[in-house]
């Protein structure tokens, strides 16, 4: 089931500072996000990622196009109950303790007064801030503020969680904890929409991603689809190949990259791999492993961006 569906969603800002009423931020974006998935929106600064989330949450309004969230058209009040949002660079009143910050947001969300304190404490425990409940947020590091932000976004037990750069400023252990927390929420059926420029994080956690550039979607797919681009295999050998085997491999006319004790074979068809294996084994070379070559999401992203920007 799709929980977010957009059709040609477009946003042009007006700006009196720049004396223009036409700053294009998003152009005809059509995306769908399935229930229970972790969806990543990637793109360079200014690509339109935050604008997309703000449109979905009705913080800004579309210039044209349409969208539904949980089947409701944008702007329906009830959606506020179903969505949680961790904005980028959020600020909480410095004089509030972590506990009181969450109680404050709980009240804004209309939670019953009797449940607020317990809810705040259980969320602080979830995000690893249990011992900081009574400490004012002005004493918090960037990473701690991100965790508190995450707790704030979860205060209404949202069906869809929107996170703008959630692991920004968080150390590697904290990042792993946040990842585990998000994966746990996913198993409970929460849909997670993530804006991030930390591509290795995205690669570890997202089911599907869309890449935005200058307001337009340039690619969408699962992580596997985007990082497994060509039919190429890395074959790890037990010993270096001899000249004789090399000559026989060259006769296959397959593009092969030769390394010391491995080969990278590019194929047109998977069956061609058998020909390579037969030649190697006939020549007495053992095969230790064979894996399809992958690019990292980061490499793929850079490649796409270079292509899009004509570099
Ligand atoms: P991202 O989140 O990918 O960095 P944004 O959605 O913040 O991108 O911004 C997309 C474009 O819209 C940028 O060119 C940005 O300068 C512009 N923009 C964002 N918010 C506003 C605003 N409130 N007024 C005018 N222009 C804006």
Q: 3-class SS at 208?
A: strand
Ligand 1, atom 14: nearest CA belongs to which residue? 46
What average pLDDT does range 74-102 have in this prediction?
94
What is the tens place of the pLDDT at every residue in 157-205? 999 999 998 888 888 888 888 899 999 999 999 999 999 888 888 999 9
Separation between Cα atoms, residue 266 and residue 264, nearest integer Å? 7
Ligand 1, atom 16: nearest CA belongs to which residue? 46
Res 307: pLDDT: 81
Q: 3-class SS at 2?
A: strand
Is residue 310 over pLDDT 80? Answer: no
Instruction: List, in order, residues 6 or more apart from 283 with CB less than 8 Å away.
Output: 241, 242, 244, 245, 248
> How many alpha carbons fall within 13 Å on the CB side of residue 46?
3
Burial of 294 (C-beta count, 10 Å sphere; 0-12/13-18/19+):
middle
Question: Structural domains in the chain?
Answer: 2-214 (3.40.50.300), 229-297 (3.30.70.100)
Q: 3-class SS at 269?
A: coil
Question: Which residues sit with their C-beta closer than 6 Å to ligand 1?
Answer: 13, 15, 23, 25, 43, 45-51
Which residue has better confidence, 220 or 305? 220
Ligand 1, atom 26: nearest CA belongs to which residue? 13
Instruction: Give the pLDDT band (50/70/90) at residue 210.
Output: very high
Distance between Cα 84 and ligand 1 center (Å):
21
The atom of ligand 1 lying closest to the CA of 164 is 2
Which residue has better confidence, 309 or 248? 248
What average pLDDT does range 5-17 have in this prediction?
91
What is the tens place of the pLDDT at every residue in 42-70? 998 899 999 999 999 999 999 999 999 99
Report CA-CA distances (Å) from 174 to 17, 28, 32, 139: 39, 36, 30, 18
Separation between Cα atoms, residue 58 and residue 236, nearest integer Å? 53
Distance between Cα 12 and ligand 1 center (Å):
9
Is residue 229 over pLDDT 90? Answer: no
What average pLDDT does range 265-281 have in this prediction?
89
Res 224: pLDDT: 86
Instruction: Give the pLDDT band (50/70/90) at residue 308.
Output: confident
Separation between Cα atoms, residue 253 and residue 279, nearest integer Å? 13
Longest dimension (CA), the chain: 80
User: And the tokens for 175?
Assistant: 């990042």
């Amino acid at each position: 089931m799709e929980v977010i569906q957009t059709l040609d969603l477009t946003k042009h800002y007006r700006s009196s500072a720049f004396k223009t009423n036409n700053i294009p931020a998003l152009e005809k974006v059509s995306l769908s996000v399935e229930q229970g998935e972790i969806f990543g929106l990637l793109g360079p600064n200014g690509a339109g990622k935050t604008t997309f989330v703000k449109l979905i949450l009705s913080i800004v309004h579309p210039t044209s196009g349409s969208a539904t969230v949980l089947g409701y058209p944008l702007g329906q009040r009830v959606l506020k109950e179903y969505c949680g949002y961790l904005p980028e660079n959020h600020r909480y009143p410095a004089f509030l303790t972590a506990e009181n910050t969450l109680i404050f947001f709980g009240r804004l969300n209309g939670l019953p007064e009797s449940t607020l304190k317990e809810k705040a404490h259980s969320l602080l425990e979830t995000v690893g801030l249990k011992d900081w409940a009574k400490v004012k947020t002005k004493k918090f590091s960037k990473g701690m503020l991100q965790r508190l932000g995450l707790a704030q976004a979860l205060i209404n037990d949202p069906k869809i969680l929107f996170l703008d750069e959630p692991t920004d400023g968080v150390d590697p252990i904290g990042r792993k904890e946040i990842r585990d927390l998000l994966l746990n929420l996913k198993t409970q059926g929460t849909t997670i929409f993530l804006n991030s420029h930390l591509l290795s994080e995205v690669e570890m956690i997202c089911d599907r991603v869309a890449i935005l550039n200058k307001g337009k979607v340039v690619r969408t797919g699962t992580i596997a689809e985007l990082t497994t681009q060509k039919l190429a295999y890395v074959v790890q050998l037990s010993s270096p190949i001899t000249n004789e085997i090399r000559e026989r491999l060259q006769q296959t006319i397959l593009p092969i990259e030769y390394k010391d004790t491995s080969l990278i074979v590019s194929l047109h068809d998977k069956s061609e791999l058998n020909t390579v294996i037969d030649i190697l084994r006939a020549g007495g070379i053992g095969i230790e492993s064979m894996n399809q070559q992958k690019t990292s999401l980061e490499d793929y992203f850079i490649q796409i961006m270079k292509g899009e920007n004509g570099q």
